[in-house]
Amino acid sequence: MSLPIRNVAIIAHVDHGKTTLVDALLKQSGIFREGEDIPDCVMDSNTLERERGITILSKNTAVRYNDTLINIVDTPGHADFGGEVERVLGMVDGCILIVDANEGPMPQTRFVLKKALEKGLRPIVVVNKIDRPQADPNIAVDKVFDLFVELGADDDQCDFTTLFASGLSGYAKETLEEEGVDMKPLFEAILHHVPPPAGDVNKPLQLQVTTLDYSDYLGRIIIGRIHNGTIKAGQQAALMKEDGSIVRGKISKLLGFEGLQRVEMQEASAGYIVAVAGFADANIGETLTCPNEPQALPLIKVDEPTLQMTFSVNDSPFAGQEGKFVTSRQIRDRLHRELETNVALRVEDTDSPDKFAVSGRGELHLGILIETMRREGYEFQVSQPQVIYREVNGQPCEPYEYLVLDVPEEAVGASIERLGQRKGEMQDMQTGTNGRTQLEFVVPARGLIGFRGEFIRLSRGEGIMNHSFLEYRPFSGELATRYNGVITSFEEGVATFYALQNAEDRGVFFITPGTKVYKGMIIGESNRPQDVELNICKTKQLTNHRSATGDELVQLQAPEEMSLERALEYIGPDELVEVTPQSIRLRKMKAQKLVKR
């Protein structure tokens, strides 16, 4: 006899404590043996996730509580990875919406909640981080209720269950007055408020593929929920492809989830979330079904991408020196392999065999792909991100973003002014008691390209910026996003201390002495609107005369560090980012008419 099941997703805005809360649920469910070394954010297993402190990929785990199997799906909190959220919501029957007690609902809270309500899910609201100073859980609950009403929730959904928790301290409670002990109230809420999975064991098998994994031993592994029927290890099954064709095969291995492990199963029925090996051609959204009565489930629909970049073969003077995979065929194969698991991504061929148009949800979405490829040994170059325009009712429209800034009081005026120049419209302004102000804007997606770096400088690194896709609106006209020109190298060689020191009055540099440069490589930002070309490989003339000031210690001003995200935001329409496993360089597409110095 199979166990009672609950399938639940954990959704929230980035950094509101989803993964930490899952840590607490795992630790208190008894799946770890006593004395076992358990890392923090145990679900963030990807290297990039651990480095950045964010969840990028949705992941499954399962715990047992009072003889009930609770399948938990941890989802990303950043708007750029919304495709991950959209596809896994079809696997679950309920969700836990986590809201920061201090910040309240944020842009991604709105996005994930809207998707959950559209699926008919009834969220359990957990107000997290109640032990932080300046936390106001009651105001957070009021704001959540207002958001439910605004998003058109029905009466049942608006009558949500609320818990107050601290994921870090490992407790949840029903009222603020009672003492927090453990996560038992959240486990009980899941049992009572998340309905058991619907599905008929006696119907033909239907399993929808929502996640793909790979094992060197088993090959491609498909993960999904059994909507109807029963699945057995070794049985024959049919895969209903997106184009309507049917691929028959055998289930070579059936795996279930238990804590962080996958455990081998012989049989699973409707409601279970399982991993299946044996179908090498499976893609996300397709249906694994009974070979005698094949019936497909509706394909997973995700929102369309809003940003596009061109990936191309590196053709700079330093091409091929640092990368392992450098040809157009290798880059094309890698991008198409990404399509198998990244549902929100689009890849199209262009007129040139060396260039590919790659579309995604935002700069971070595409930036993570670029960083992953770079670490795998790929060398290529990418163009400035461009928004994807659409025609609505015969009128050209562009994507708009809902933007929330949390800034110190002294940076409020400058932030409003800069966003005004980028066609942003302020919707709301709330002054807090801690000397910070929350600003809400609606701004064209174009206006946010390159804004993050500028905003960090305006707020002296103290500002917090969050945004998510809002809707398509009529084109708002031309806008300028960069006001200064760039400094490019005049020749190929090695940058010298002497040349950089003499050119310090020209602007801010991105390089240090000893950096290899080539003609057309961007080495800094000019303090004038025009582009400037400099010879920074010039060496000091040596003579046999001694100088009275020759031994004085001279220091260069600190260069501006160009991370991958900063480089993608910074470049203009006629510029490229050259990406290799060892370096990130900025360059002009071709020789420009520059002012020589």
Residue 12 corresponds to which tokens in the numbers above?
């929230």
Phi, psi of 82, deg, nearest 5: -60, -25
Helix (H), strand (E) at residue 500: helix 497-502
Domain boundaries, the chain: 5-193, 206-289, 390-474, 486-596
Q: Report pLDDT for 356.
A: 92
Predicted confidence at residue 46, as pLDDT, reads 47
**Residue with tokens 């239907």, as numbered in its chain:** 206
From start to end of 3-55, where are the E strands? 5-12
Report how far apart, in Å, the C-alpha atoms of 72 and of each of 31, 191, 195, 543 are. 14, 13, 14, 73
Cα dihedral value 280, 220, 232, 258, nearest 10: -170
Annotated binding site: 15-20, 128-131
Task: Quote the pLDDT of residue 329.
Answer: 92
Task: Give Cα separations from 344 to 18, 83, 155, 281, 377 (angstroms).
Answer: 22, 5, 32, 19, 24
pLDDT digits (tens, 9 = 90+) for 416-438: 888 888 888 888 888 876 678 88
361 phi/psi in degrees, rounded to 5? -80, -20
* Domain made up of 5-193: CATH architecture: 3-Layer(aba) Sandwich (3.40)
Annotated binding site for GTP: 15-20, 128-131
Number of H helices and E strands in the chain, helices first, is 14, 36
**Cα separation of 103 and 127, whole Å?**
10
> What's the pLDDT at 6?
87
The per-residue pLDDT for 479 is 75
pLDDT score for 55:
46
Q: Which residues of the chain have pLDDT under 50?
A: 1, 32-46, 48-57, 551, 591-597
pTM, 2 dp: 0.71
The whole-angstrom distance between residue 432's C-alpha and the CA centroid of its chain comes to 29
| Interatomic CA distance for residues 200 and 182, integer angstroms | 35
Please give the pLDDT value at position 358: 92
187: its two tokens = 């486990």
Show the beta-strand stretches assigned E in 39-184: 59-65, 68-74, 94-100, 124-128, 161-166, 171-173
- Give CATH for domain 390-474: 3.30.70.240
- The H or E element that residue 392 is part of is strand 390-392
Q: Distance between CA atoms of 326 and 334, rounded to whole angstroms?
A: 11
Out of 3.40.50.720, 2.40.30.10, 2.30.110.10, 2.60.40.730, the CATH code matching 206-289 is 2.40.30.10
Class at the top of the CATH hierarchy for domain 486-596? mainly beta
Query: From the CA atom positions of the chain, what is the Rg in Å?
Result: 27
How long is the chain? 597
For residues 332, 333, 335, 337, the Cα torsion angle rounded to the nearest 10 degrees is 160
Mean pLDDT of the chain: 80
CATH topology agreement for domains 5-193 and 390-474? no
* Predicted pLDDT of residue 310: 92
pLDDT digits (tens, 9 = 90+) for 231-257: 888 888 888 887 778 888 888 888 888
